Amino acid sequence: MVNTLKEWRLQCLHELVFPNGLGNVETLENIVQRGLIPTLHAAGIVDKYTGMHALQHFYASWCINRKKDGGLELPVKVVQARMGHSSITITLDTYGHLFPSTDDGEELAQAELRILG
């Protein structure tokens, strides 16, 4: 891929990697309509595109979700860095509800069984 991009750069008249047909910057609308939405649909990720911000939340939830649920199960500091948040507070205020709870009642129920059993 690197070699292909290097060859492409030599052919480009401008400094853009992916210019439009006229050699100018491609519009976001065109990128979304002609590239992103068809790709998301083909991958089965979304049925309806709701905006670029939704992709950020999709990525965050994938980073946070448990491995057994198809996620990466990353620690909160790693998620903070990947999301580019200036503080861990921003990460936890925005995505804290997605992190697996260690107090889901299962451990308490098991402890009660051991005590009462």
pLDDT digits (tens, 9 = 90+) for 49-61: 788 888 898 899 9
Looking at the fold, whether 94 and 59 belong to one and the same domain comes out as yes
Confidence band (pLDDT; 50, 70, 90) for 95? very high
Dist. CA 96–CA 89, nearest whole Å = 9
Q: Is the pLDDT of residue 117 over 60?
A: no
Same domain, 27 and 60: no
49 contacts 32 by C-beta, under 8 angstroms: yes
Confidence of residue 109 (pLDDT cuts 50, 70, 90): low
Are 41 and 34 within 8 A, CB to CB? Answer: no
C-alpha–C-alpha distance, residues 27 and 111, integer Å: 59
Same domain, 12 and 38: yes
For residues 68 and 33, state if they share a domain.
no
Residues 45, 61 share a domain: no
Q: Whole-structure pTM over 0.75, yes or no?
A: no
Domain boundary among 49, 64, 89: 49
Mean pLDDT of 27-54: 84
Average pLDDT over residues 107-112: 64
Both 64 and 36 in a single domain? no
Domain total in the chain: 2
105 in a structural domain:
no
